[in-house]
Amino acid sequence: MAIVDGFLFTLTFITALGCGLIAGLFFAFSVAVMQALARLPAAGGIAAMQSINSAILNPLFLVIFLGTAAGCALVMLTALARWHSPGSVYLLVGGALYLGGSLLVTAVCNVPKNNTLASVAPADPGSAGLWAGYLASWTTWNHVRTVASLASLSSLILGLCSLAH
């Protein structure tokens, strides 16, 4: 049982770090990046966001973002298998918050908006209306991802505290 406890503690710790990194990234977009892009003329904002959306799809980001999702799934499975153990509820909730509020929201809400934006010519006169709608909707969903990732981190930390005692 000590090996399982050590594995779960280490897995949860690393997964919580991933949630924190992703929460910080989403937070930076919510409080600074999107506001800065909104101050630019539409063509400039679109071009900048298209560049950001292309640059973010790099191996380091994908390992952290998807690795954290895999960690959450494994933490949840382990918590279910050890349901009687202290902290299991926190671990289960923490994993679910990240998978639903970060990964799922990204896949269902933010990525489709990014794909639509990628197909727009920034200088096209009709792109300004699309940009205004994108800014409002994308940022709202980003707020959801930020809160969910932070709540996931918090729940995993509470689970870690239970595991440590």
Model confidence band, residue 6 (pLDDT cutoffs 50, 70, 90): confident
Position 163 scores a pLDDT of: 78
Number of residues written out for the chain:
165
pLDDT of 104 over the 70 cut: yes
pLDDT band at 4 (very low <50, low <70, confident <90, very high): low
Residue 164 pLDDT class (50, 70, 90 cuts)? confident
> Nearest Cα to 110, choosing from 148, 74, 72?
148
Phi, psi of 126 (to 5 degrees): -80, -10
pLDDT in tens, 48-89: 999 999 999 999 999 999 999 999 999 999 999 988 888 999
CA 49 and chain centroid, separation: 18
- pTM recorded for the entire structure: 0.94
What is the pLDDT, as a whole number, of residue 1? 54
pLDDT at 135: 97
Cα–Cα–Cα angle for 95, 100, 103, rounded to 5 degrees: 95
**Structure tokens, 158:** 């509470």
Nearest to 91 by CA among 27, 31, 162: 162
